[in-house]
Amino acid sequence: MSDLRADILKDLRRDEGLKLKPYIDTVGKLTIGYGHNLDDLGISVRIAGLMLLEDFAQAEADLDRSLPWWRNMPEPHQRGLANMSFNLGLPKLMKFKKMLAALQDGNGKLAKDEALDSKWAGQVGERANRIADLYLQTSEHVFSVAPSIPMPAGFGVEAPPQWKDFLQRHPEFASTADSAKLTPERLEQLVEVNRLVNDGCHYEHDEAGHDHWNVMEIGDMGDCEEFVFTKIRLLVEKGWPRGALRPVICRTLENIAHMVLSIHTTDGVYIVDNRFSYVALWAILPYRWLYRLDGSTWRTVFNQEREVT
């Protein structure tokens, strides 16, 4: 990125200011972020999708923290409860004491009755009926996306030239494939480092022909690759095995080339991303997975798909 454009963006961040909640600007327009005019511009489909993923991750984290047994329920029951958590928020969901007790006991019929016998059911209409019907189903109705599903690896490919150049300048990033035990402390570290880099560094897409991978300091500007390698450096400093922290190249829903950091653990493969503030299982993200680093070898990634019978 040219110095001029970087200076302009710096000026805009200073002069617009960052507001994370909507406000009325000096000419009466509903505004958010760095001066984004919601009244006239709204938001893009991409931003709406990102907001959905982030809000869902929060609903999922709320359930993990307050109702850890929910992961052991049949998958349709998990779908229904996660939907309610997203819609209601945890404080209101926790008021459904009889429904939650029925779900924990595996009594789907009672859980359905309790869900529908509520003010909430009258407010959301058919949504409540769809969710309540899930409580009568069992796991065979739903395709499983479970933590135990590994990220598939195919044949070896030639390393990207940017990786070869990066290793010459940062040989400490060379490693052998490894995995890490995901403890509550380490999960907190993942969330902390992901948010520190995402909030503390500024994203700027590399110009064509100038895609040189680097490691940033907090406050620097960089592309998705810089976010990945900066997170690896910080996690290694916290004691993570470097071989468990592996870059993955993918394409977004908009068919844009992208890199994320995969964390290989004894409980599955998780992803941290400069586009999201949460930690997610790789299989739930809407990406087309292309290549992953396994130790010193780059390999293709084959997408997990349901078989058509």
Domains of the chain in sequence order? 67-141 (no CATH), 156-300 (3.10.620.30)
Is residue 142 pLDDT above 80, yes or no? no
User: What residue has token string 């993918």?
Assistant: 250
Beta strands at 221-222 and 202-203: parallel, antiparallel or unpaired? parallel
Q: What is the mean pLDDT of residues 293-305?
A: 79
**Residue 103 backbone dihedrals phi, psi, to 5 degrees:** -65, -40
Distance CA 232, CA 174 (A): 12
Q: Which of 246, 259, 266 is nearest to 289 (CA)?
A: 259
Distance CA 286, CA 272 (A): 14
What are the C-alpha distances in Å from 305 to residues 84, 198, 225, 283? 27, 31, 27, 10
Q: Which amino acid is at 85?
A: S
pLDDT in tens, 218-252: 999 999 999 999 999 999 999 999 999 999 999 98
Q: What is the pLDDT of residue 242?
A: 95
The maximal CA–CA distance of the chain, rounded, in angstroms, is: 64
The mean pLDDT of the chain is 86
Burial class (CB in 10 A: 0-12, 13-18, 19+), 214: middle
Task: Label residue 210 by pLDDT band (50, 70, 90).
Answer: low
> Cβ distance 117 to 263 under 8 Å?
no
pLDDT in tens, 7-25: 888 888 898 889 989 999 8
Half-sphere exposure of 67 (CA within 13 A, CB side): 24
More confident residue, 279 or 140: 279
